[in-house]
Structure 1
Amino acid sequence: MKVIILVNLLLIITSMLQNCLTVYSQSEPLAKLWNVTDNEVITLLELERNLTMVDGLLQPILEEYNTSFGGSYINVLMNRIFVYTVDPTKIDIIKSRMESYFHFFNFTNATNSLVALRNSFNGVYEQAQKLKPLMVFCFIDIEFNNVGLFLYKYYDNSNREFLDAIQKYNVTLHYLNKSHPIQSDADEYNIIAKDIKTPIIGVHNDDNITVRDIKLPILGGEGIYNLDDHLACSAGFGAKRKDKEDYFIITAGHCTKTKYNTIFKLYSWNENTTGPTIGFMLRHQIEPIDIGAIFIGSDKYKVSMLIRNTDTIQNKELTTYDVSVSSSYGTHLCKSGRTTHVTCGYVKGLNGFFTDNKKQFNGQLIFTNIFGGKGDSGGPGFSYKQDLRIVSLNSITIAVVNSAGVQLHILLPIEPMEQFLRNDNLEIILANNTSH
């Protein structure tokens, strides 16, 4: 009897150890997204890369027959590309042109063509710019073959003119909750501040903020704290002037509400106190894009091409090698931020828009289902390359909504930032273009 009990005990312990090993083997954010072990992620990355290539070849055909198809969506776990099909008679055209890749396609019946989707979205977009509704979020939802509009019941009366104007477009309405959105504990949307545009000029250094030997790197996703407005945000990526040794952290513009020279301190993950002063926010804006530049005036810090990922077992720092553009729906996108650290999700919408609680309009946005929270704003969005150490910089977080079972993580792509960077002769710090 004792032997049987001992054997059963050993079996229980073995099972517990196996469960622990399974958990630990899923420490990578992408492994958690795809629900596979860390060792399986590389294979799926290669599958996704191949599907993205095939989808890139498919896109011109879908554009040519944009009244017959409603777009495409990648499902890496199924190793398939779902092609939303309005007119099945055109499937043979894709087969004749892409015969060697035809086995990747899953043709799914759809009602709305690309032309219909874009017409509806453009109509909603124009009305939103004209009428400035309160806190609405909108993008073409390829997976569900319609325009998705996310909004709060609380603002229905204020938004009545807008809602009446877009009724003819037959968009899918998703109500986030019935309470006041700013008072709701479920809603994690960061309230956006007033738009202030202050050009970057020479910085007056004092005893506390001096440009000398810079030491500690500020990683993308690391926490930063606005001392003047008492706001927690995240560092996005490093940038420098092309013509001199001035360095900056790019983050979200709404991370400051103060007009001039907001002081930022380091506010590391899992810490309850702030570190030394980093520098000043010297230029920021909310419209048409939400972006800001913090001048690093401290001798304690330097910019970095690295992104913080310290919750994982092995790849605790990710190297930003280059810049990428999201072009396929359903591909992975990840972010690093102070509050929820590194999490991943899927690209759900491209070129979407939202309006904030001050009726300010933001467009050209990526919508994902990445999990995030307050304090993640400004942190970098990225995609993994050929392994789990090298990534492509893609965007920065500007808004997060977790409400009524809906999870929206909204990011500003690099492309709309380029003019902001060019205006001040700034370049992004990347592994393939600098030794800093």
Structure 2
Amino acid sequence: MSNIYFLLNTLLLLFFTLNKQSLVLTREALAELWNVNDAEIPNLLAIEEQLIIVDRTLQLLLESYESSFGGTYIDVKKEKVLINTIDFSKVPIILNSPEIKLNNYSRFLDFVPAERSFTKLKYNLIKISDLIKKYRPSEIQCYIDMKLNNVVIGYTNKYRNRKFIKSAEKYNPNFIQQRNSDSEDEKPKAFQAQIASRDIIPKIFNGDGITTLEYDCSIGFPARNNDLIYIVTAAHCYKENKLYYHIPWNSNIVYTQLGQMVKSEHMYEYDFGLIKIDENATKLISARIRNTDSEYAELNVEGGRIITSHGAHVCKSGLTTHVTCGYAVGLNAIVTYINSKIVENLVLYGKDNSIISKGGDSGGSVFSYLQTLSNVSLIGIHIGRSIDLSTYLPLDLILSKGEIELVKTPL
């Protein structure tokens, strides 16, 4: 009888996936971000890739003129790289440089007036970073917002952080009081999860859920160190001596036992953890990202990349909110947790007035699309949120500090 119950549950889950057109929003998450039809996405992806190439070239040129310019950001809909400009007398130098002139990149450039040079922005960020380490404020986000041409300090509790805020005021950052939210720490499930029959064993995708039967997180990606296979997720999902199990989207059925998270030095500093996979689970792990609310139900991961442009799209796949997308808002951000833990070198991403992640998404895959909606580059794992802005830990940092390699093909 129990086997019949589990079979029916699985069939219902499959029915949901196959009939997604009538059950979920018809537009892709990236179309929602750009407010376009799905058919327009490939063209905009090509435009964005071109802008990123131009921006990368431009950033190298501007390194010699950091006191004259205040950073760059891209706008895909405008098809422009916008350059914050303090000294317009230097604009002809940039436009006449061989890198810009020979490639006809000037058609993509828009020089906009700005108050703060990149030299000033970097100086202020360093000084405010020092204050964060001195006062150890709680639930702070600090980053350079290129569109605002200023350092931004986001906070939820002004009184608790009053000494830090008062000290930081002399650097004239933009203070943004964020709306209070539930903690990103995963909540106990509202129902008692049930262990599935061993006769029904679904594949395990990036972006699927993991659970200790008390707390839920999401799968980032599989990785290896020699012959050892791991699942990468957020370190704050760590529960000592607890086993983790696979839980697919839209399910209260717990499936394969995965293993335990390995305790290590990098867990506290960088907020990523490694679950050592039990041998029986290894053959079920896919290197693809789940996207079963879409026509493109499984996303092929074609390696990794580093996001270098403010304004580039960033998407994530997680247990709670599935696939959602935002813009890269703050690169090399500094974030503090409710316990005043400080994590650096993060990336903030989001969409204006939209919540694109919730509790349970932590550890999920963060990626960017390539030239089609079926192929992506992995860029990190999701580790937190504060209402409008979500946070990811970059892939290159995870691989280097964890001494692991990305698994790009089935195990």
Please indicate the TM-score interval, normalised by the length of the shorter structure: 0.7 to 0.9
Secondary structure, in 3 states, of the residue corresponding to 1:63? helix
Pairwise CA RMSD of aligned residues? 2.2
C-alpha deviations, 1:195-225, integer Å up to 9, x for none? xxxxxxxxxxxxx9xxxxxx75321100111
Structure 1 unaligned residues grouped into runs of 5+: 1-20, 182-186, 194-207, 209-214
Equivalent positions of 1:224-235 (< 5 A) are 224-227=210-213, 230-235=214-219
Distance in 1 (CA, whole Å) between partners of 2:362 and 2:116 is 34
Partner of 1:281: 261
Secondary structure, in 3 states, of the residue corresponding to 1:143? coil
Q: Once superposed, which parts of structure 1, at least 4 consecutive aligned residues long, lie more than 3 Å away?
A: 23-26
Shift, 1:384, TM fit: 0.8
Distance in 1 (CA, whole Å) between partners of 2:24 and 2:161 is 48
Distance in 2 (CA, whole Å) between partners of 1:127 and 1:25 is 44
| Aligned length, in residue pairs | 369
Given candidates 125, 130, 133, the residue that maps to 2:129 is 125
Aligned partners of 2:186 and 2:359 also within 8 Å: no
Segment drifting more, 118-127 vs 284-293 = 284-293
Given candidates 314, 318, 325, the residue that maps to 1:333 is 314
Distance in 2 (CA, whole Å) between partners of 1:304 and 1:125 is 39
Distance in 1 (CA, whole Å) between partners of 2:25 and 2:218 is 28
CA radius of gyration, larger in: 1
Alignment of 1:311 onto 2:313? no
Alignment of 1:256 onto 2:241? no
Aligned partners of 1:150 and 1:175 also within 8 Å: yes
Aligned partners of 1:71 and 1:113 also within 8 Å: yes
Partner of 1:356: 337
Partner of 1:367: 348
Secondary structure, in 3 states, of the residue corresponding to 2:53? helix
Q: Which amino acid aligns with 2:407?
A: I
C-alpha deviations, 1:161-194, integer Å up to 9, x for none? 21222121111000013xxx4xxxxx1441399x
C-alpha deviations, 1:109-156, integer Å up to 9, x for none? 100110111111111111111221111111100111000110013xx3
Distance in 2 (CA, whole Å) between partners of 1:392 and 1:55 is 19
Distance in 2 (CA, whole Å) between partners of 1:286 and 1:238 is 17
Change beyond 3 A, Cα 1:192–1:388: closer
Identity over aligned pairs, percent: 34
Equivalent positions of 1:100-139 (< 5 A) are 100-139=104-143
Distance in 2 (CA, whole Å) between partners of 1:87 and 1:288 is 40
Shift, 1:420, TM fit: 3.0
Secondary structure, in 3 states, of the residue corresponding to 1:417? helix
Change beyond 3 A, Cα 1:129–1:287: farther
Partner of 2:192: none
Aligned partners of 1:192 and 1:357 also within 8 Å: no
Partner of 1:270: 250
Structure 2 unaligned residues grouped into runs of 5+: 1-20, 188-194, 196-200
Distance in 1 (CA, whole Å) between partners of 2:25 and 2:139 is 40
Distance in 1 (CA, whole Å) between partners of 2:303 and 2:235 is 23
Change beyond 3 A, Cα 1:175–1:291: same
Shift, 1:304, TM fit: 2.0
Aligned partners of 1:247 and 1:303 also within 8 Å: no
Distance in 2 (CA, whole Å) between partners of 1:216 and 1:282 is 25
Aligned partners of 1:191 and 1:357 also within 8 Å: no
State the TM-score, normalized to the length of structure 1: 0.80
Distance in 1 (CA, whole Å) between partners of 2:133 and 2:242 is 30
Shift, 1:40, TM fit: 1.2
Q: Which amino acid aligns with 1:191?
A: D
Partner of 2:60: 60
State the TM-score, normalized to the length of structure 2: 0.85
